[in-house]
């Protein structure tokens, strides 16, 4: 199984900050990498697919990059509604696997 490791597990940031979340795969997954945002009590919401393509309707302050084993999700000018938990997911092969999540909270 492909292991997905996110870092950090949590971070504190202020409105307006730039936040970078890293996701590393245990083997190459090319660009078969998705990012989701989840708020408490809600289902996950897709942000980025294929490593760098922003889902329709997602604000442009979110961006994804990377290929192979190393990926990043960047949130520019953090907004109050961005405080949430973020997960990466590989769809390179089965079983599908998620990172353990990165919780972004208010400093």
Binding site for another protein (CB under 8 A): 1, 31-32, 34, 36, 38, 43-46, 49-50, 53, 55-56, 87, 89, 91, 94-101
Closest by Cα among 43, 30, 5, 24 to 91? 30
User: Which of 1, 70 has the CB closer to another protein?
Assistant: 1
Is the C-alpha dihedral spanning 31, 96, 20, 7 positive or negative?
Answer: negative
Residue 10: CB minimum distance to another protein, A:
12
Dihedral class, residue 22 (left if φ above 0, else alpha if ψ from -120 to 50, else beta):
beta
Q: Report the nearest approach of another protein to the CB of residue 15 (Å).
A: 25
Distance of closest approach, residue 34 Cβ to another protein, in angstroms? 4
């Amino acid at each position: 199984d492909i292991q997905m490791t996110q870092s950090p597990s949590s971070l504190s940031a202020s409105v307006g900050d730039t936040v970078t979340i890293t996701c590393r795969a245990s083997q190459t997954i090319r660009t078969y990498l998705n990012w989701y945002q989840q708020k408490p009590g809600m289902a996950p919401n897709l942000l980025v697919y294929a490593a760098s393509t922003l889902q329709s309707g997602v604000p442009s302050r979110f961006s994804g990059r990377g290929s192979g084993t190393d990926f990043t999700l960047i949130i520019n000018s953090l907004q109050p509604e961005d405080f949430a938990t973020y997960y990466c997911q590989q769809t390179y092969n089965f079983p599908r696997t998620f990172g353990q999540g990165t919780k972004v909270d208010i400093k």
